[in-house]
A and B are shown apart, each in its own frame.
Chain A
Amino acid sequence: MVLEATMICIDNSEWMRNGDYSPSRFQAQADAVNLICGAKTQSNPENTVGILTMAGKGVRVLATPTPDLGKILACMHGLEMGGEMNIAAGIQVAQLALKHRQNKNQQQRIIVFAGSPVNYDKKMLEMIGKKLKKNSVALDIVDFGEDDDGKSDKLEALLGAVNNNDSSHIVHVPAGQSALSDVLISTPVFTGDGDGGSGFAAAAAAAAVGGASGFDFGVDPNLDPELALALRVSMEEERARQEAAAKRAAEDASRQEKGEEPSSKAEDATMSDANVSAPEENKKITNDGDANALLKQALQMSMNISGSSHSVGDAEMLDTTSEDQELALALQMSMQESTSNPSSQADESKVLEDQSFVSSVLASLPGVDPNDPAVKDILAALQNQSESQQKKSEDEQKKSEDEPSNENK
């Protein structure tokens, strides 16, 4: 939160056309400049930032130190590349611009982007550095782009002459995968001198790194709450699904002889429902450990989603163990493609013949239209395969429907 007036010296020489930084050196530089301006103005509302170009026809001040971020971003438009960078003149003009800042209480800082070769000798640069130090101007140097012999040494010498109590920094950015701005975000150029940096800088850094240190999914909940929520929900669902799959594998191994596969499959069926509360239900189910209670809960889950009128009737049907297995398997069938238990397959076909039940379940599946002729054909084929079994289940259904109707009276 240091009160600061900053002058940014941009290199717009011919060397900036090179594409070793994507998309081009100049564009990478412009992005970095925009980010720095934002960070500076956010860290303290009274901070001012100014821009000047060092190449072209000569050193030209595009914007004198101003707190208006919009003006700064606007003057970054339409910049042309050409000529050679004049670093000494650029720094001196920047120093003059800072001297005439309106608020004399601001600390003075110059940020130089040195992308092209430096023509001045070390002595000259050291003298400039000394002059800056004498006038208590801090200097940040971004060494990128051309890397001819001596450029790094010269810039280091300049930094050494200017540096007073570590208020000045130099950053060497080699060409490569990561963008110039990303590399700069983690440096003191962006974060300031050990203040801890501004919230802006920290958030930008988190977003850039991919959310490892900042937000969970690389999306700032402040910027996009719906997206962050959707990502979080889907992450939880996936986690729950994986947990259920792991549990199922464990339970299959341990409980296979007890024939409690239907219960585990029922759990699995509920897991695959698109419902965040499903994992919590699942945990409840496993804690109970009672097969009937498990099935009851599982069925209630599925019934809530399918919204069929059978909900009460089906709950009643739990009394008969054969019904338990059929319905549980029905759930599993409706939600999942493959079944590993051969004995359950015969039961599955029975349940499929319960047309209304199946169609209601199918309706709950995304992308499946029960009125689709193809789906209808399949169902008809399944029904024809075992009519006797269908009759038997219908009788049982009538019996159970009588019961709730009696209760309602």
Chain B
Amino acid sequence: MSGESASAIHKSQVDLLDFIDWSGVECLNQSSSHSLANALKQGYREDDGLNLESDADEQLLIYLPFTQVIKLHSIAIKGPEEEGPKTVKLFSNKEHMGFINVNDFPPSDTINLSPDNLKGKPVVLKYVKFQNVRSLTIFIEDNQSGSDLTKVQKIVLYGSTVETTDMKGLKKIEDGH
């Protein structure tokens, strides 16, 4: 585990995009023309021209509920050098947070994005804190240049689901032992 290079993704970790419950996804302070879908959705996120942008100021608060319980291993955030996010706080299982109470709770993890990370290199998280995640709140506190506008090109979550029974692998128990 320690020999894992920073750029490699652990074998059993999958892209958790499929497990996001889109009906409950919220993003506060996003610009209406540049919304969260640009950073999350398949296809949109690959396009570097389509960004998630902040509106009134540089902070962003993203709430992602999941369809099932997951373990979160790492996160990759891609953004431009200047306006990409710098300090990102992650909260697990905290619903409907607002900018006002975001600093009332200690985050499950805090990451500082380096320019390397902004190119798409995933950041490994404190795995033990994200063992039983139903929803994830991502709070982007500031950006690289300190300007009023934060741009995010891509957000990818890597992890695994808690119940991973492979139904195809199950064999029928024969009668008569």
A283 interface hit (Cβ, 8 Å) = no
B146 interface hit (Cβ, 8 Å) = no
Are A133 and B55 CB-contacts (below 8 A) given A164-B32, A165-B32?
yes
| A130:B95 contact, CB within 8 angstroms | no
Quick one: CB contact mask for A113-156 with B, threshold 8 Å, 1 for yes? 00000000000000000110111100000000000000000000
Binds A, one of B36-44, B73-81, B96-104: B96-104
Docked Cα-Cα span, A161 to B57, in Å, equals: 12
Cβ contact of A136, chosen from B28, B57, B59, B100, cutoff 8 A: B28
Interface of chain B residues 55 through 73 with chain A (CB within 8 A):
55-57, 59
Are A135 and B96 CB-contacts (below 8 A) given A130-B56, A164-B55, A165-B32?
no
Closest-by-CB residue of B relative to A130 is: B56
| B95:A133 contact, CB within 8 angstroms | no
A391 interface hit (Cβ, 8 Å) = no
Quick one: CB contact mask for B75-117 with A, threshold 8 Å, 1 for yes? 0000000000000000000011011100000000000000000
| A104:B95 contact, CB within 8 angstroms | yes
**Chief secondary structure at chain B's binding surface:** loop
Closest-by-CB residue of A relative to B55 is: A133
Compute the total of residue contacts between A and B using a CB distance below 8 Å: 29
Q: List, in ascending order, chain A residues with CB within 8 A of B95's CB.
A: 104
Q: List, in ascending order, chain B residues with CB within 8 A of A99's CB.
A: 98, 100
Quick one: CB contact mask for A94-124 with B, threshold 8 Å, 1 for yes? 0010010000100000000000000000000
Are A134 and B32 CB-contacts (below 8 A) given A104-B95, A104-B96?
no
Quick one: CB contact mask for A164-196 with B, threshold 8 Å, 1 for yes? 110000000000000000000000000000000
- A293 to B: closest C-beta gap in Å: 74
Q: List, in ascending order, chain A residues with CB within 8 A of B56's CB.
A: 130-131, 133-134, 161
| A135:B32 contact, CB within 8 angstroms | no
B29 interface hit (Cβ, 8 Å) = yes
- B37 to A: closest C-beta gap in Å: 16
Closest-by-CB residue of A relative to B59 is: A134
| A135:B57 contact, CB within 8 angstroms | no
Are A134 and B96 CB-contacts (below 8 A) given A164-B32, A165-B32?
no
- B134 to A: closest C-beta gap in Å: 15
Docked Cα-Cα span, A165 to B31, in Å, equals: 10
Quick one: CB contact mask for B9-32 with A, threshold 8 Å, 1 for yes? 000000000000000000011001
Q: List, in ascending order, chain A residues with CB within 8 A of B57's CB.
A: 130, 134
Docked Cα-Cα span, A150 to B33, in Å, equals: 32
Quick one: CB contact mask for B45-57 with A, threshold 8 Å, 1 for yes? 0000000000111
Q: List, in ascending order, chain B residues with CB within 8 A of A130's CB.
A: 56-57
Docked Cα-Cα span, A96 to B57, in Å, equals: 20
Q: List, in ascending order, chain A residues with CB within 8 A of B55's CB.
A: 133-134, 164
Q: List, in ascending order, chain A residues with CB within 8 A of B29's CB.
A: 133-136
- A132 to B: closest C-beta gap in Å: 9
Closest-by-CB residue of A relative to B26 is: A136
Closest-by-CB residue of B relative to A162 is: B56
Q: Among A134, A135, A161, find the residue whose CB has the most chain B CB atoms closer than 10 A.
A: A134
Closest-by-CB residue of B relative to A133 is: B56
Docked Cα-Cα span, A367 to B32, in Å, equals: 73
- B171 to A: closest C-beta gap in Å: 44
Docked Cα-Cα span, A136 to B61, in Å, equals: 11
- B36 to A: closest C-beta gap in Å: 13
Q: Among B29, B32, B59, find the residue whose CB has the most chain A CB atoms closer than 10 A.
A: B29
Docked Cα-Cα span, A322 to B31, in Å, equals: 92
Closest-by-CB residue of A relative to B33 is: A165
Q: List, in ascending order, chain B residues with CB within 8 A of A136's CB.
A: 28-29
- A303 to B: closest C-beta gap in Å: 74
- A165 to B: closest C-beta gap in Å: 5
Closest-by-CB residue of B relative to A127 is: B56
Docked Cα-Cα span, A96 to B98, in Å, equals: 11
Apart from A135-B29, A135-B100, A164-B32, 19 more pairs, CB < 8 Å? A99-B98, A104-B95, A104-B96, A130-B56, A130-B57, A133-B29, A133-B56, A134-B29, A134-B55, A134-B56, A134-B57, A134-B59, A134-B99, A135-B28, A135-B98, A135-B99, A161-B56, A164-B55, A165-B32
Q: List 25 A-B contacts (CB under 8 A).
A: A96-B100, A99-B98, A99-B100, A104-B95, A104-B96, A130-B56, A130-B57, A131-B56, A133-B29, A133-B55, A134-B28, A134-B29, A134-B56, A134-B59, A135-B28, A135-B29, A135-B98, A135-B99, A135-B100, A136-B28, A136-B29, A161-B56, A164-B32, A164-B55, A165-B32
Residues of B within 8 A of A (CB): 28-29, 32, 55-57, 59, 95-96, 98-100
A-B interface, 3 closest residue pairs, ranked by CB to CB distance from nearest: A130-B56, A104-B96, A134-B56
